[in-house]
Structure 1
Amino acid sequence: MNLMKVDGYLAKIEYAEETDQFRGEILGLSGGADFYGSSPDELRREFRKSLDVFLEICKEQGIEPRRQYSGKFNLRIPPELHERLAITAEVQGKSLNALAQEALQRSVMA
Structure 2
Amino acid sequence: MNPMTYKGYAARIEYSEEDEAFIGRVAGIRDIVTFHGASVDEIRAAFHEAVDFYLSTCAERGEAPQKPYSGKLMLRVPPELHARAAMRAEAAGKSLNAWVAETLAKAV
Same fold (TM over 0.5): yes
Matches within 5 A, 1:19-98: 19-67=19-67, 71-74=72-75, 84-88=84-88
Structure 1 distance, partners of 2:28, 2:17, is 25
2:14 aligned counterpart, secondary structure: strand
Structure 2 distance, partners of 1:24, 1:49, is 12
Q: CA RMSD in A?
A: 3.6
Number of equivalent positions: 101
Q: 1:8 to 1:72 in 2, by over 3 A?
A: closer
Output the amino acid matched with 1:103.
W
> Quick one: percent identity of the two aligned structures?
38
Q: CA deviation at 1:67?
A: 2.9
Structure 1 distance, partners of 2:57, 2:101, is 33
Structure 2 distance, partners of 1:46, 1:5, is 12
Q: 1:10 to 1:72 in 2, by over 3 A?
A: closer
2:4 aligned counterpart, secondary structure: strand
Bigger RCO (CA 8 Å, 6+ sep)? 2
Structure 2 distance, partners of 1:67, 1:102, is 24
Q: CA deviation at 1:7?
A: 3.1
Give the TM-score, by structure 2 length. Answer: 0.64
Q: CA deviation at 1:74?
A: 4.1
Give the TM-score, by structure 1 length. Answer: 0.63
Q: 1:91 to 1:66 in 2, by over 3 A?
A: same
Q: 1:22 to 1:2 in 2, by over 3 A?
A: farther
Structure 2 distance, partners of 1:17, 1:68, is 28
Q: 1:60 to 1:87 in 2, by over 3 A?
A: same
